[in-house]
Amino acid sequence: MPVFTSAVTLEKLNALSANTMVAHLGIEYTRIGDDFLEARMPVDHRTQQPLGLLHGGASVTLAETLGSIAATCCVNTTVQYCVGLEINANHIKSVREGFVTGTARPIHIGKRTQLWEIRIVNEKQELVCISRITLAVLDKR
C-alpha cells in the first residue's frame, strides 16, 4: 500500500535540493517505491573525514535528508510540515570511495509523529550505517 500522499517524482525532489547542503554533498534521489525513498551520495572530498573515510556526519545527513523528505511526502503540505525530533545512527562499516545508497522505510506514520528507518549500504550492498529518525508532524499557521 502506498504511503506517499502527494505526487512525488524524482525530478521534483532533486529540484528541491538546489542550493542546499543536500546539493553541496552531492546527494541525489534515485528511486521511489510504494513504501520507500532512496538516494545516493558520493564518498569524496565533500563527505570524507581527514582519514579519508566517509564522515559519520555525512551519513547522518543522508539519513536525515531521506527521513525528513519521505515524511513530508506523506502529509498534505498545504496544511502540514514535518520536522526532526531525534535521530540516531550506528556506523557499521567504513567506506573510502564510490557511492553509498540510503533507503528510508516507515516504521510508524501517525497523525502527529512519524518514525523512519534508514539503511545505508556501500556499492557491494554491505550495511554501512543504520539510522532511525523521529519526526513531528506540525500544522501550518
Tell me: the pLDDT tens digits for 44-66?
999 999 999 999 999 999 999 99
pLDDT, position 2: 79
Tell me whether residue 64 is one of the annotated catalytic residues. yes
Catalytic residue, from 11, 28, 38, 64: name it: 64
Tell me: the pLDDT tens digits for 66-97?
999 999 999 999 999 999 999 999 999 999 99
The 10 Å Cβ neighbour count of residue 82 is 22
For the segment(s) 10-139, the CATH number from 1.10.238.10, 3.30.930.10, 3.30.365.10, 3.10.129.10 is 3.10.129.10
Average pLDDT, the chain: 96
User: Where in the chain are the domains?
Assistant: 10-139
Say how far apart CA 70 and CA 93 lie, in whole Å. Answer: 25
pLDDT, position 6: 61
Tell me the C-alpha to C-alpha distance, in Å, between residue 30 and each of 48, 81, 101.
Answer: 21, 23, 9
Say how far apart CA 17 and CA 39 lie, in whole Å. Answer: 12
